[in-house]
Amino acid sequence: MARTIDWDEHEAAIVLVDQCALPATYRLLHVASVDDLIAAIQRLAVRGAPALGAAGALGVALAARVHGTDTAAVHADAQRLAAARPTAVNLRWGVERALAALPEGAGAVLAEARSMLAEDERVNREASAHAADLVLQRCARRPLRLLTHCNTGHLAAVAWGTALGAVWHLHAAGHVEYVLADETRPLLQGARLTAWELARAGVPYRLLPDSAAAAAMAQGLVDCVLVGADRVAANGDVANKVGTYGLAVAAARHGIPFVVVAPSSTVDKTVPDGGAIVIEQRDAGELTHVAGARIAPDGAPVFNPAFDVTPVELVTAVVTEHGIFAGAAR
């Protein structure tokens, strides 16, 4: 499985899949400055909590190489990078972990960042394997009909993925009938990215509008909901792509397991609950325009949060590489 993000030693640059170009074009970006990396993060060319952690670490390595012994400049770039997306805790985690190696020099920073790339795939394989086992325990029906939201596959990580990682495990064991993939408004990560990954992996799937997920549950088309997370509070509340909370409410209404899969680096024990999580607001144009064409009245007010918070009592389990972190275990 090719890495979503990596380091090119020959170019001294970060190489990442341009997720904005998919599914029409598979394109690699070669990023040689922190400014360009921040721009890529903010336009979602690289996204997904684990991938953002890797981007943060590699960005610090890039800054350390560019600025040399000017550690103040490296720290300044690191802070700008960490603030590029405020909700996704893995970005700051990756920045801070790589920055801790700065006293040992730029080479040590790069070594730490590169070690995190291999670690990411291992950790997410372990977390998703635990989640797959839990799904099999909770769902009697075989093969499984699974519903997912946003994109949580290898594109959202360095490789493998989180919630879709659990799908890879279950599919390999012959336990998946199909996956229902929410289109995921407003940037359609489900339609553009998740569908692309499922098709490449040979997993049967259907796309559905976000607003149709509850109807699919009511019609008995869903055995389990699998989602990722951008930040998990100390009490187990989950911030994830907007629309996740509504899925959890619907799943609880229909008695369907709702499983969150994330590496332990996504757990932020500095925030007591979901109310303390800063929710990123996206540009209004993501809703008022499609492909550059206006679809809403000129000046239409917009509420466009990138994420919402699902309270832990609606979550069957938050699963990390260490097993179940939190959840109502319903």
Chain center to CA of 278: 16
Q: Which residues of 119-158 are buried (b: 16+ CB within 10 A; e: fewer)?
A: bbbebbbbbbbbbbebbbebbeeeebbbbbbbbbbbbbbb
Q: Which ranges of 49-88 does DSSP label H, i.e. alpha helix?
A: 49-67, 71-82
Contact 329, 317 (CB under 8 A): yes
In DSSP notation, 144-199 reads EEEEE-S--SGGGSSSS-SHHHHHHHHHHTT-EEEEEEE--TTTTHIIIIIHHHHH
- C-alpha span between 107 and 322 (Å, rounded): 31
Q: Which candidate in 210, 230, 237, 268 is catalytic?
A: 230
Other beta carbons less than 10 A from residue 35's beta carbon: 12
Any catalytic annotation for residue 308? no
Angle at 156 between CA 193 and CA 224, to 5 degrees: 75
Q: Which amino acid is at 89?
A: V
Length of the chain, in residues: 330
Q: Which residues contact 48 (CB under 8 A, 6 or more apart)?
A: 4, 151, 152, 155, 156, 157, 228
- C-alpha span between 120 and 103 (Å, rounded): 24
Q: Which positions are catalytic?
A: 230
